[in-house]
Amino acid sequence: MFSMTGYGKGTYDKGGAEIVCEIKTVNNRYLDVSFKMPRVFLPLEETLREIVRSYLTRGHADVFISYKDKRETRGDFFVDLPLAKSYVRAAQTLANAFPEAENDLTLTALMKLPDVIKTEEADADDTAGEGVKEALCAALGNLNVMRKKEGEKLKNDMLSRMVTIENYVNDIALRAPLVAKDYFEKLTARVKEALSGAAIDEGRLLTEAAVFTDKSNIDEEITRLYSHIAQFRAICEEGVVGRKLDFLVQEFNREANTACSKSNDAALTKTGLALKNEIEKVREQVQNVE
């Protein structure tokens, strides 16, 4: 089991290429990958995405890649001449509008203006291209080590809560058969009180009790809850389980809600509400699982 939250870092430093790759992941229903990297690696973006997909199935991943080219061959400087002329024209316009002000625009000052002088990046060679893949794989490997550790903590927490859920279901299973009996006894007492000693139609009382028993019967819900508990434990031993557990917890909630609505018993409803509260805690943890 893997958590969707984690961090990993990988590096590559060979052949004049120094590459650092960092990846941070958080919860997300689907896999969403965002890259922040130098322009020289843009042609490799889809390849890098495929590598990420081979390690992750869910979550939002931010991938940060830095690249330092230590080769002797570097990109050349070039001048954006149209932009420089625009700066000069703007300076001349201001000088004409304000003759009392000194026009101190020098060549050195012009070179410092934004985007007048640009550096043309040298293309990344095959070494850098393979290096960024290697750094990314290393980062993803370290990320999964962390996610695995967090996943084990989540698994242990959810399995411990499953014990609590099972205990609540046991309590409900013990209480459920007594609900109809208590109802019959209370109904009989109320009828006797209302009739003030007159004869009671036992057949009618039994019919009423039978109708109530049928309406409040939650044997199916209890059976399904036990089945869900067994399935939950089995799924936790698999690898990528987030979507399965998410669906299963929805089924837990459905059965618990039905049991509470049909029970018509204060004690059973109280236990059912405690059960729903524990299921909600498990649901919150499932949202962190890949």
Beta-strand (E) ranges in 15-69?
Answer: 17-26, 31-36, 59-69
* pLDDT given for residue 71 in this prediction: 65
CA 238 to chain centre: 18
What is the pLDDT averaged over residues 54-64? 94
For residue range 248-286, list pLDDT tens digits in order.
999 999 999 988 887 777 888 899 999 999 999 999 999
- Confidence bin at 72 (pLDDT 50/70/90): low
Q: List helix spans (H) across the chain.
A: 45-55, 81-97, 107-112, 126-195, 202-216, 219-235, 242-263, 266-286
User: What does pTM read for this prediction?
Assistant: 0.68
Count Cβ atoms below 10 Å from residue 158 Cβ, excluding itself.
24
Rounded CA-CA distance 149/4 in Å is 11
Count Cβ atoms below 10 Å from residue 7 Cβ, excluding itself.
14
Answer yes or no: is pLDDT of 241 > 80: yes
* pLDDT given for residue 125 in this prediction: 58
- Confidence bin at 240 (pLDDT 50/70/90): confident
Query: Tokens at residue 187, please?
Result: 């109904």
Answer yes or no: is pLDDT of 221 > 90: no
* pLDDT given for residue 253 in this prediction: 92
Q: Are strands 59-69 and 31-36 parallel, antiparallel or unpaired?
A: parallel
Mean pLDDT score across all residues of the chain: 84
Q: Mean pLDDT lowest for which of 45-59, 61-75, 150-164, 228-242?
A: 61-75
Answer yes or no: is pLDDT of 104 > 60: yes
What is the pLDDT averaged over residues 13-30? 90
Q: 135 in helix, strand or coil?
A: helix
